[in-house]
Amino acid sequence: MCGIAGYIGGGDSTAIVEDGLSNLEYRGYDSAGVAFVGERLTVEKQTGTIDGIDIPTNNDISQGIGHTRWSTHGEPTDANAHPHTDCTSSVAVVHNGIISNYDDLKAELGGHVFESETDTEVVPHLIEEELTAGYDFVPAVRRATDQLKGSYAIAVTHADKAKLVVARQDSPLVVGHGEEGMYIGSDVTAFAEFTQRVSYLEDGDLAVIADDDVTVYNDGQQVSRPIRQVDWDTSAAEKAGHDHYMHKEIHEQPHALRQALSGRINDLEGTVDLDIDIEGTFGDCEFVEIIACGTSYHAGLCAKRFLESHTDLAVSVNIASEYEPAHPHRATDTVALAITQSGETADTLAALRDAKAVGMRTVAVTNTVGSTVTREVDESLFIRAGPEIGVAATKTFVSQVATLTLLAVAVGQHRGTLSAGEATDLLESVQALPSAVQSILDTEAEIRETAEDHADGEAFFFIGRQLGHPVALESALKLKEISYDHAEGFPSGELKHGPLALVTPNTPVIAFLTDATDPRETLHNAKEVESRGAPVIGLSTLADADTYCAETIDIPEIGVLEPMVANVAMQLFAYHVAKLKDRNIDKPRNLAKSVTVQ
Ligand code: F6R
């Protein structure tokens, strides 16, 4: 995730902003930059690490902003790094989030010179327009941000003004109140070493920050945001207060999902716009061959269900290391769809090259702009989850599935195979995901108790039908990789064909009992294991699941994607089982985040 740090006051501005950026390095980034105001505005930025930036040393500098960028629009290049400036080099802007209407705004800004491919660069030019029209700095920023759609935390500095202006919508921004100046940060980590007196901005806030005070406006009215004393352990700062990156990333899922969806759904028309050539890629194909490994393979299994239910395409899902083109003689009718968080997995790249070699069109669904896969495919679709540092994939799985749901809607609509009602159901379900996931995160204390009750199980079995099946596989993978316990996922109906022999009173069975996954059938299978003494944990939207379940975790009703919400409960379950066993959660034994060998 991108990071913002900033300062205005009598302290050593350049050192404070540089330290702030270093404190934010834990978020992951591919480029970084700073803007300082002294006698003039100085901007320094580049790809790579903060250390490489030429930080100015002049002592007339009294304010500055800095940014660490994780690319979402445009490759990681020097030009795409923040800050971005206007045509007069008077205004500099850093931004976290996604401005979803930047294409339209850019088209309206004819005559302005753009130097990057980013969505952010429209902001300084919009501010410049308002300044040229005669507005002062603060109203100019307000009038510019009023035109933005999407999510943003923005910090703006001006060559001639002794103030910073910041604004927030769906992306966090905090203000630090120090003895010698005021700080800004995308989280407290940015400045906790300098001050722990903090006010949190809210959506719609625009704040004017001088060296000794802050004035906050919302919807044109002055509002007050209380100053709180936070007790911030700076040694835990890099994980933003979480014990592990995995825990932090589990909790980032509502935000990651909002980023995945931002600007891609037209609610009025019920359509999807994905920035890829749907007609050229899927317009006349017949087959889709999905290629992926591990968690990404499970996302592929989910995608197959959506694509086959809502399009006339024949879809296969292939473990990349096993892949052979299924229809080499029909290659021009086939799309190879590689799903890879890192974009660097050797097995996936090798399979993709095989698909290309026989002449298939290629698409990557990935988290990593500029990764190897994006350089080798015809089209890249980004999941926008932000960097994932824990080895176990969490937020990238849910972001992959959300993005692939949108892809299924786009392809189904384009091919005329998806009815308006089906599209509405899918889009409503995917848009309900962020809040539903948050509601599960809010029940973490209860899920931890469930983990404590069952951590000593000999083995764990996860059962589900339809979309509940790939999610059962994914939940089992998460538990086995971080707790080192034996865990398996099965289609519920398969238990009685063999695995039931493994079931004992010491093998917890976790059942996915959500609405669109034939929960009554799975409940019957739960009865089969319950009668053999196994404790059943039901992840359920059913009112009567406790008939056969020793415990139930209620899943909010959001339609077809309910299993994805249940999956988050199982990520927390796996996390707490592993924590109780004192496992190396972020770096489980024998595993690597990016598997670059075949
Ligand atoms: C599991 C996990 C792995 C990856 C797999 C593919 O938690 O992270 O199974 O999903 O190695 O990695 P990507 O998606 O980067 O190709």
**Residue 233: its pLDDT value, please?**
64
State if residue 295 touches ligand 1 by the CB under 6 angstroms criterion. yes
State if residue 383 touches ligand 1 by the CB under 6 angstroms criterion. no
Strand order in the sheet with 228-229: 41-47, 31-37, 63-69, 3-9, 181-185, 174-177, 197-200, 228-229
State if residue 362 touches ligand 1 by the CB under 6 angstroms criterion. no
User: 3-state DSSP call for residue 512?
Assistant: strand
Locate the ligand 1 atom nearest the alpha carbon of residue 293 and give its number: 6
Ligand 1 centre distance from Cα of residue 93 (Å): 35
> Which domains are assigned to the chain?
3-232 (3.60.20.10), 239-441 (3.40.50.10490), 444-580 (3.40.50.10490)
CA–CA distance, 429 with 423 (Å, rounded to integer): 10
**Residue 235: its pLDDT value, please?**
57
In sequence order, the β-bridge partners of residue 338 are 291, 364
**Residue 569: its pLDDT value, please?**
98
Ligand 1 centre distance from Cα of residue 211 (Å): 46
**Residue 5: its pLDDT value, please?**
97
Angle among Cα 242, 246, 252 to the nearest 5 degrees reads 75
Enzyme catalytic residues = 2, 593
Locate the ligand 1 atom nearest the alpha carbon of residue 292 and give its number: 16
State if residue 294 touches ligand 1 by the CB under 6 angstroms criterion. yes
Per the CB < 8 A criterion, the answer to whether 94 and 155 are in contact is yes
State if residue 390 touches ligand 1 by the CB under 6 angstroms criterion. no
State if residue 281 touches ligand 1 by the CB under 6 angstroms criterion. no
Locate the ligand 1 atom nearest the alpha carbon of residue 347 and give its number: 16
Which residue ranges in the chain fall short of pLDDT 70?
1, 232-237, 596
Write down the H helix ranges in 133-242. Answer: 137-145
Ligand 1 centre distance from Cα of residue 341 (Å): 7
Ligand 1 centre distance from Cα of residue 388 (Å): 11
State if residue 348 touches ligand 1 by the CB under 6 angstroms criterion. yes
Which residue has the least CA distance to atom 5 on ligand 1? 294
Per the CB < 8 A criterion, the answer to whether 48 and 11 are in contact is no
Ligand 1 centre distance from Cα of residue 590 (Å): 14
**Residue 234: its pLDDT value, please?**
64
Strand order in the sheet with 536-540: 486-491, 459-464, 509-513, 536-540, 551-554
Substitution candidate for ligand 1 out of 246, 249, 295, 482 with most atoms within 8 A of CB: 295
Secondary structure (DSSP) of 576-587: HHHHHTT--SSS
Ligand 1 centre distance from Cα of residue 343 (Å): 10
Substitution candidate for ligand 1 out of 250, 291, 594, 595 with most atoms within 8 A of CB: 595
**Residue 228: its pLDDT value, please?**
85
**Residue 172: its pLDDT value, please?**
82
User: 3-state DSSP call for residue 125?
Assistant: helix
